[in-house]
């Protein structure tokens, strides 16, 4: 089942912060975050594993609440380059990623 992302879209000014949420109805092993710019492939940002391990870019932070099967991606002091569509992908016992519908982030100067 597809995870639910919110908000669907957000518009920011440079320097502002944003939070993107992802929730699943399934028990999860991991949550993955990707960013996709128009006409390009999704690019890995972060993976959060059950048990607390995280791997990803230093400037990106995220949380994973295993009890609630929810994850949040925190974008602080946003830059123009942060614009794009953010996808969360959730992995359960099926060992595959199921992606949310995406959150379109626009950062304005």
Between 34 and 82, CB nearer to other proteins:
34
Closest approach, Cβ 33 to other proteins, in A, equals: 10
Give strand ranges (E) for the chain: 4-6, 9-13, 18-23, 30-36, 43-49, 54-56, 61-65, 70-75, 84-91, 97-99, 103-108
Stretch that binds other proteins, among 14-22, 59-67, 69-77, 85-93 (CB under 8 A): 85-93
The smaller minimum CB distance to other proteins, of residues 18 and 28, is found at: 28
Q: Which two tokens stand for residue 26?
A: 């399934």
- Max distance between CA atoms of the chain, in angstroms, equals 42
**Torsion over CA: 30, 100, 7, 58 (sign):** positive
Residues in 4-63 at the binding interface with other proteins, rule: CB under 8 A? 28-30, 32, 34, 36, 40-44, 47, 49-51, 53, 55
Q: Does 94 bind other proteins (CB under 8 A)?
A: yes
Residue 35 CB, shortest distance to other proteins, in Å, is: 11
């Amino acid at each position: 089942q597809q995870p639910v992302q919110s908000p669907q879209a957000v518009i920011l000014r440079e320097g502002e912060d944003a939070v993107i949420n992802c929730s699943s109805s399934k028990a999860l092993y991991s949550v993955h975050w990707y960013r996709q710019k128009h006409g390009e492939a999704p690019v890995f940002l972060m993976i959060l594993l059950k048990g607390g391990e995280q791997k990803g870019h230093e400037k990106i932070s995220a949380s994973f609440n295993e009890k609630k099967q929810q994850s949040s991606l925190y974008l602080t002091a946003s830059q123009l380059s942060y614009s794009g569509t953010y996808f969360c992908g959730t992995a359960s016992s099926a060992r595959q990623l199921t992606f949310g519908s995406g959150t379109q982030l626009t950062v304005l100067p």
